[in-house]
Chains A and B, each alone.
Chain A
Amino acid sequence: MPEQPPQERVKNFLEVALGYSLEDAKAEAKRCLQCKNPTCQQGCPVEVDCKTFIKFVAEGNLDAAYQTIKRTNSLPAVCGRVCPQEIQCEGHCKLKPTGQPIAIGRLERFVADYFYAQQKGFACAESQQTSTDLKVAAIGSGPSSLTFAGCLAAQGIKVTIFEALHEPGGVLTYGIPEFRLPKTIVQQELKGLEAMGVEIKTNYVVGATLNLDDIFAQGYKAIFIGVGAGLPKFLNIPGENLIGVYSANEYLTRVNLMRAYKFPEYDTPLPEGKEVVVIGGGNVAMDAARTALRLGAKQVSIVYRRTQKEMPARLEELHHALEEGVTLKTLCSPVEFKGNGEGRLTHLLVQKMELGEPDSSGRRRPIPIEGAFEQIPTDLAIIAVGTRSNPLLLRVTPELKLNKWGYIEVDPDTGETSIPNVFAGGDIVTGAATVVLAMGAGRVAAKAVAKRLLG
């Protein structure tokens, strides 16, 4: 698929991947073997019928292709962009051993974009007459709740989503940058859901503005908790509260949700940095690093205590970051942030590491090289080492059973929590994971709720 060249795209926030033309898409779809026993669908957390939709693309019947995807996937334009297809549908493709699996993600994206570009309206997303007395609620408007809502709305159940922030979308809105997932795409998907009768109420912090009992008292028959993970982890090293040290959540929220890159037209200030370090090796670290480059940083380094091979980021994200000029400082473990007299960050001190024996995760454990330190000059450090569960709803709902990590415990077959008719899914159950796994959880819960309400 064609991409914006790296030297150009670091100057803008436009999408990196440019998408297929109709001819490209058809040609790619025609390569599909149309297996008798397809495995691609099994690799998909939301069970998209890949074989059928690809056949429709090959035939040029894009409406049918869209409807096929939409039957199980509420957010096709999003998934086509941010799913780790290499370990899901494409990872299960029978052509995978040839090194050329069908580009299912790209085809999905093409179908969704084509459909929206034709302005087909959203009513055709097979919505039925929404029932007036059967209503359920979802908390949070990220991928798990949106999927939950989409699945139930398609079956005529009215869904209301309560979102804490002023804008819906969850991580799709505040977290994933524009160049990976344009906000217009998210808005289109949201409009599609609204056209199916899904209602989104912003500024509702469940656990503060309302609690679960209030929602049941309003006549909702079931509640899905999809509030995401939340609280950013810090490193607990000296100097971490210096001015210039941010969580990736804060940095990305300022830029994506609050549009700080348009300061002062938008009020929220942008943390500026010329020499940026990003700590962590996951997708969020890549997003933060690439965002900083686009916002004028001269040098962006990713500091990671293992090696490139162990980085949890998707290969494609890491590859894009490197192409754009992000440098890697691997086998470096942060020890201390150092600042000037005004409390502003000037350096990051790191301990050099080497790889030892494999640890419990199977990855080789990094061990410090005695006496080997490096001072990295920096005026902006972004910490992207994961999140922990958000306590807001959990602490006012003591009946909700949690696991030892503080996430909500659910029945894996239904997503139901220890409270009857309260379901949960996504990062608040699994800890930080991917968009599509959260969507899969939303779908599992939706099936269980539909079965209970509709019989």
Chain B
Amino acid sequence: MGFKILGKRVLIPERVSELVIDAPEIAQKTKPGNFVILRLSAQGERIPLTIADKDPEKGTITIVYLVVGKTTALLETFGQGDEILDVCGPLGKPTHIEKKGKVVCVGGGTGIAAMHHIAKGHAEVGNEVISIIGARSKDLLLFEQELAKFSAEVLVATDDGSKGHKGFVTDVLDNYLQANEVKEVVAVGPVPMMKAVAGVTKKFGVQTTVSLNSIMIDGIGMCGACRVSVGGEIKFACVDGPEFDAHQVDFDELMQRLRSFINQEQLSYKQFCECHGKEKK
């Protein structure tokens, strides 16, 4: 008995999709910042994915994934009506949200979807949310309209200048912080982006929260694969996080650890693509 996919929306063809999954008990408990662990088949690995949204009344959770390897490539072959074998959650500590004033939420790439749920949580308690999102070009921007529903402003940066500021989200953030008093910055995206955001906000002394995407197996604290150094101490992203004080995180170590199984991951993906007659991207 798996978890049925009730809807699929392709956000960027063959790269990023959104799934709405029937998981009433998980939806009931999900808070911003939580993630789930998925397993697609009996031979499958367990992968963590941040919950991008929920609808407790309909009993659904929404996830957004980027095709980066075998498991996400396999997931991309799933469609409406298909079942995901295992969905486990909601895991991780929820985002600490309190009414405080102006909060800037920065999202990069697929991280925008994960950031969306956190930003929405801040908006719901009455914080003024400024969303800053970035991608290589405008076709790769996600969730712009969804964020616009509750954000005071949605600021955009693209590498190629096809929309908004030409350059990085950190440029936009830097400008914004120079002109505005901000209580907290939240950043979710590729590790280099989160590291750069932490660098910018440190200058301004603004409290900053990042959501980390370490390698995980069980996601419930048992293995320690997801450990990260935060303020010089070992923390487990799955039970102590996934959100941490950005100014305390050792991002370089995290980047290195994400490459732990790079060879095996590439082999696995290559075999999958060969079996499915696809070009590896």
Contact = CB atoms under 8 A, between A and B. Distances in A.
A166 B222 contact: no
A98 to B, nearest CB: 43
Interface stretch (B39-47, B112-120, B132-140, B183-191): B39-47
A232 B224 contact: yes
A234 B225 CA distance: 12
B163 interface: no
B215 to A, nearest CB: 9
A250 B224 contact: yes
A246 B261 CA distance: 13
Contact of B43 (A202, A249, A259): A259
A288 to B, nearest CB: 13
B67 interface: no
B49 to A, nearest CB: 15
B252 to A, nearest CB: 9
B217 A268 contact: yes
Nearest to B252: A343
B239 A391 contact: yes
B224 A234 contact: yes
A306 B19 CA distance: 54
A210 B24 CA distance: 11
Given A231-B239, A241-B227, A259-B43, A342 B220 contact: no
A208 interface: yes
A266 B218 contact: no
A166 B85 contact: yes
B84 to A, nearest CB: 11
Contacts of A392: 220-221, 239
A204 B87 CA distance: 9
11 contacts: A164-B220, A166-B39, A209-B89, A241-B253, A253-B222, A262-B43, A269-B45, A342-B256, A390-B239, A391-B221, A392-B239
Contact of A390 (B44, B222, B264, B265): B222
Contacts of B223: 232, 247, 249-250, 253-254
Interface residues of B, number: 42
B254 to A, nearest CB: 9
A232 B226 CA distance: 12
A194 to B, nearest CB: 15
A203 B218 CA distance: 11
Contacts of A342: 256, 259
Given A208-B89, A254-B223, A264-B264, 17 more contacts: A164-B220, A174-B222, A210-B29, A231-B222, A231-B236, A234-B227, A241-B229, A243-B257, A246-B224, A246-B225, A247-B224, A254-B217, A263-B268, A264-B267, A390-B221, A390-B222, A392-B221
A246 B227 CA distance: 10
Which A-B residue pairs are the 7 nearest by beta carbons? A343-B256, A269-B264, A250-B223, A267-B45, A269-B261, A247-B224, A166-B86
A266 B25 contact: no
B218 A253 contact: yes
A258 interface: yes
A403 interface: no
Interface in B248-281: 253, 256-257, 259-261, 264-265, 267-268, 271
B26 interface: yes
Contacts of A246: 224-225
Contact of B221 (A203, A230, A236, A269): A230
Contact of A243 (B25, B90, B259): B259
A265 interface: yes
A270 B224 CA distance: 15
Per DSSP, chain A at the interface is: loop
Given A209-B26, A258-B45, A202 B271 contact: no
Interface string B204-223: 00000000000001101111
Given A208-B29, A240-B234, A267 B71 contact: yes
A165 interface: yes
Nearest to B226: A250
A355 interface: no
The interface size bin for chain A is: 35 or more
Contacts of A253: 217-218, 222-223
Contacts of A267: 43-45, 70-71, 268
B262 to A, nearest CB: 9
A83 interface: no
Contacts of A210: 25, 29
Contacts of B177: none
Interface string A204-239: 110011100000000000000000001110101000
Given A231-B236, A268-B217, A258 B90 contact: no
Contacts of B71: 267
Given A166-B85, A208-B29, A259-B43, A232 B222 contact: yes
Nearest to A209: B25
Contacts of A230: 220-222
Interface in B12-60: 25-26, 29, 39, 43-46
A266 B70 CA distance: 11
Contacts of B267: 264
Contacts of B229: 241
B88 interface: yes
B123 interface: no
Contacts of B261: 269
A269 B215 CA distance: 11
B156 interface: no
B91 interface: yes
Given A241-B234, A342-B256, A266 B86 contact: no
B29 A209 contact: yes
Nearest to B88: A203
A208 B90 contact: yes
By CB atoms of chain B within 10 A, which of A204, A208, A234, A269 has the most?
A208
Contacts of B222: 174, 230-232, 249, 253, 390
B89 A205 contact: yes
Contacts of B86: 166, 202-203
Contacts of A258: 45-46, 217
Contacts of A343: 253, 256-257, 259
Contacts of A263: 264, 268
A116 to B, nearest CB: 23
Contacts of B91: 205, 208
Given A267-B71, A269-B264, A166 B88 contact: yes
